[in-house]
Chains A and B, each alone.
Chain A
């Protein structure tokens, strides 16, 4: 069969999209190896990597803050979101429709509004801003995603398999653990990973609810570029880009093998 070429205009579009998408990343990656400080190329060096790993104490603190917040809030959001999805599918009651809509709210509201309303809320109940408030905020905005992914998984779930499990000798708990949980696992996992990503990258909401000493990585980066971009950030960026790519790749393989087995 003759290969059909995409029209010229489409090719052009593709080219520019790729350019805008990847050029900045490539520039950042390249300049992380620059031996100079500014935007002119002064030769290859690993000095920024050295600085990153030896004398960037605040940066690492922010990094670990991010990781801790991401893991804890995603875990909480995944547990609550999955339970909510199962519960709302199982028992439909008068309010369940409203609850569903309410769950989507944090997803569609602008971050600024969520951020500021949380700030007002936390200060009105005299909760000191810090790691805990960030954790609470992240859990909240992650919930819709974990809920949604498990819920869509449940749409395909055949509820009569629960009865089959009961019929075959499992009690309620056994049926839940041996039938429901394995069936929704892919949804739970993708929800969890999505929540981690969203939590690590969030800036706006975190900005409002963070307190002294609780800066996350995005906040740290933002505050440090106000004094000029340090190439250390470039070095960190490249590491993060590579790490996320590796994670995404592993996750894809993992999901694929799960899908094949499902």
Chain B
């Protein structure tokens, strides 16, 4: 069942509904066979972009190319992509078999060949024994698998998935996500996966794109997106951050570690800090400094952990099973969020309680700069 997978190029797509701009000059390139995620908050235009690719919506401007050929003139039924809908859109009057066979009836396959293909697909998505059930009698996860099998039946080059897991519980989502990833590996076609769940996107995508309010903010590998978000929105949308406005003071090249070290003034922390970056930053530029809570080391008591160490008290510990979250109020008056995994208790001595004095520190290489300008009032 190995397909070929198309390269998709989306060029300057703009789409308005009335005076409302749902998509604003979006350009994206997706490599053949990739698992590509579109991530963004509700209403940012993810579904709209998917519908434009599938042919249900016409863009006001721009191009959609499959392997270099424009598909905008083609009606949905002629495009080499199939969609798994946000609500699955299974045909309620047809059984599981009927749903999966639906696209095959059109293709002029013989009855025997068709049945064989349906059997193969049912086995593939592990729905054996449910063949004759109606969609109304299936669980959410089973419906999703029928939707995927149905979409794969015509052997598309591209599979579009619109938040297929959003209606399911956390546990099931996890296991279905793994299944999806396996299906992707097996069929080898391009997946475009829409989600507003960053965990899903980070864990399965080859590349992903972050959207907000109809605009593409950043595209890259999950690692790039998580470790070096380019906008304030991405930085706060993906994972958690301690984000503070700062001003660049000076940049210097560090020969040894092959990186730039930027000295920034962070008024909220009452300090100047060092942070690494890929290039120099213009002196005096206003930008944001950010450090992920899980990269902050926290130790009980007033301990000198080296340069860049903060002291403070625990304002609010939040227990969350495998980890704890602390809001540390520094002596300078800033609040720093810290995530501490519970496995390190053994190494690090006594537990940390509410109102305890603590010391926190991070490596300059773990902080990063978000190159978006801040203004006085924010």
Contacts and interface: CB of A to CB of B under 8 A. Distances in A.
A164 B55 CA distance: 11
Interface stretch (B80-88, B113-121, B260-268): B80-88
A110 interface: no
A164 to B, nearest CB: 4
Given A164-B91, A168-B150, A261 B76 contact: no
Given A174-B106, A261-B134, A167 B82 contact: yes
Interface string A165-179: 111111100100011
B77 A261 contact: no
Given A160-B85, A163-B56, A165-B102, A171 B93 contact: no
B83 A171 contact: no
B109 interface: no
Given A160-B87, A169-B107, A183 B154 contact: no
A167 B91 contact: no
Nearest to B106: A169
B243 to A, nearest CB: 39
Contact of A167 (B76, B107, B134): B76
A171 B87 contact: no
B48 to A, nearest CB: 14
Contacts of A163: 56, 76, 83, 85, 89
A53 B90 CA distance: 53
Interface in B58-105: 75-77, 82-83, 85, 87, 89-93, 102-103
A71 to B, nearest CB: 27
B54 interface: yes
A262 B95 CA distance: 9
Contact of A166 (B77, B153, B154): B77
A261 B76 CA distance: 29
Contact of B89 (A161, A174, A183, A261): A161
Nearest to A160: B89
A169 B76 CA distance: 8
Nearest to B93: A182
B148 to A, nearest CB: 13
B103 A169 contact: yes
A160 to B, nearest CB: 4
A171 B77 contact: yes
A170 B54 CA distance: 14
B93 A261 contact: yes
Nearest to A181: B93
A213 B92 CA distance: 49
A158 interface: yes
Interface of A: 158, 160-161, 163-171, 174, 178-179, 182-183, 261-262
26 contacts: A158-B87, A160-B89, A161-B91, A161-B92, A163-B76, A163-B89, A164-B83, A164-B91, A164-B150, A165-B91, A165-B102, A166-B55, A166-B75, A167-B55, A167-B77, A168-B77, A168-B106, A168-B154, A169-B103, A170-B77, A171-B75, A174-B106, A178-B102, A183-B93, A261-B93, A262-B134
Given A164-B90, A167-B56, A169-B106, 19 more contacts: A160-B87, A161-B90, A161-B91, A164-B83, A166-B56, A166-B75, A167-B77, A167-B82, A167-B151, A168-B102, A168-B153, A169-B103, A170-B106, A174-B106, A178-B102, A182-B93, A261-B134, A262-B92, A262-B93
